[in-house]
Amino acid sequence: MTRIYAIANQKGGVGKTTTAVNLSAYLALSGKRVLLLDLDPQCNASSSLGIDKGKVASSSYEVLLGSVTPAKATLKNAKLNLSIVPASPALAAAEIELVGELAREYRLRQALGAEMDKFDYILIDCPPSLGLLTVNALTAANGVLIPVQCEYLALEGLSQLTRTVQLVRQRLNPQLDVRRLVMTMYDTRTALAQQVVAEVEKFFTGKVFKTKIPRNVRLSEAPSHGVPIIAYAPSSPGSQAYRALAQELIEQDFPPPEPNQPDDVHVTSVDSTPPMQQPSSSNGVSASTRTDDNAAHSTPDEIAQNA
């Protein structure tokens, strides 16, 4: 079964995109077939992977409007073993353009229907709002990952988000089930961070990932190089944390096999991986790297060799 996660929090700057990009990269490196779908008009996930938002031929905007299939809009980074549907600034208008359209909340769900058996994970990077884009992501998803910044008032706004999740579940998507929180920008040295974690864990018992993402400057530097942390500073604390988060998620979603059966889930790291390039650039992702199927997926060993 494909696990589709909306990475959502209407609060801005809490680590949604950082989590979407780096979790995707580590899930992919573990051998999972991963599609990262950028549904934010800011296009930060796309830029973080070296994609020039001004040059993408087709994006999640066209996918949402139904003029192209997700497969047509998908770029493939073979070294990262990662597929991505980039965003475009035009997405900002989609909410208005879709007003009056029938079943406008189901657009993404319908579009992703055909992709289901091609991926183990589809991660959707949502914008900082609870508008139609996020509602489309929640309607398409079977789980929500909520990055929560370890700061004062961290819980503020979470009740509104969980109410929205509940409403979507009741009215649009009964399968929307798992709600998991990732604590981000965690600073072990401050008592405040520990208090915030304790408070969030009290309200969301059993829903908070054991792995906390530390505040780490390497995580904020990697996007400017157009690569995930795995390819920029693989041994940094931020990288190790996203590696552990991917492992934790895989263990929850794909419980280990019974003893005596081979356990093949291992996350390794690579030293350097070039950014995903523009379709039109000379050394970039060309039409041939757009993929309509998963044939181009590499094994972890191949990635390690290529890196």
Interior angle at CA 188, CA 187 and CA 194, nearest 5: 95
**In terms of CB distance, is 112 or 219 closer to ligand ATP?**
219
Say which entry of ligand ATP, Mg ion, none residue 15 contacts (CB below 5 to 8 A, set by partner kind). Answer: ligand ATP
Yes or no: say if 290 and 51 are a contact pair by the CB < 8 Å rule.
no
- 81 vs 298: CA distance, rounded Å: 6
**In terms of CB distance, is 243 or 297 closer to ligand ATP?**
243
Say which entry of ligand ATP, Mg ion, none residue 234 contacts (CB below 5 to 8 A, set by partner kind). Answer: none
- 155 vs 273: CA distance, rounded Å: 36
Per CB under 5 A, the segment of 16-24, 89-97, 112-120, 204-212 that binds Mg ion is: 16-24
- Choose, by CB under 6 A, the member of 70, 238, 275, 300 that binds ligand ATP: 238
Cβ neighbours of 243 (radius 10 Å):
23
Yes or no: say if 26 and 230 are a contact pair by the CB < 8 Å rule.
yes
User: What mask of x and - would describe binding to ligand ATP in positions 180 to 219, judged by CB under 6 A?
Assistant: ----xx---------------------------x-xx--x
66 sits near ligand ATP (criterion: CB under 6 A)? no
How many residues in the shown chain lie near ligand ATP by CB under 6 A?
20
17 sits near Mg ion (criterion: CB under 5 A)? yes
- The strand ranges marked E within 39-130 are 75-77, 82-85, 121-125
Using CB atoms within 10 A of its CB, is residue 301 exposed (0-12), middle (13-18) or buried (19+)? exposed
- 185 vs 188: CA distance, rounded Å: 10
Least distance from Mg ion to the Cβ atom of residue 45, Å: 7
**In terms of CB distance, is 94 or 303 closer to ligand ATP?**
94
What is the DSSP secondary structure assignment for residue 113, as one 8-state letter? Answer: G
Least distance from ligand ATP to the Cβ atom of residue 40, Å: 6
User: What mask of x and - would describe binding to ligand ATP in positions 122 to 141, judged by CB under 6 A?
Assistant: ------x-------------
44 sits near ligand ATP (criterion: CB under 6 A)? yes
Yes or no: say if 97 and 64 are a contact pair by the CB < 8 Å rule.
no
- The strand ranges marked E within the chain are 3-7, 34-38, 75-77, 82-85, 121-125, 143-149, 178-184
**In terms of CB distance, is 93 or 217 closer to ligand ATP?**
217
**Residue numbers 2-31 binding ligand ATP by CB under 6 A:** 12-18
Distances in whole angstroms, Cα of residue 176 to Cα of each of 107, 128, 188: 16, 20, 33
**In terms of CB distance, is 78 or 249 closer to ligand ATP?**
249
CA–centroid distance for 228 within its chain = 12
**In terms of CB distance, is 17 or 216 closer to Mg ion?**
17
Say which entry of ligand ATP, Mg ion, none residue 300 contacts (CB below 5 to 8 A, set by partner kind). Answer: none
Binding site for Mg ion (CB under 5 A): 16-17, 44
Binding site for ligand ATP (CB under 6 A): 12-18, 40, 42, 44, 128, 184-185, 213, 215-216, 219-220, 223, 238
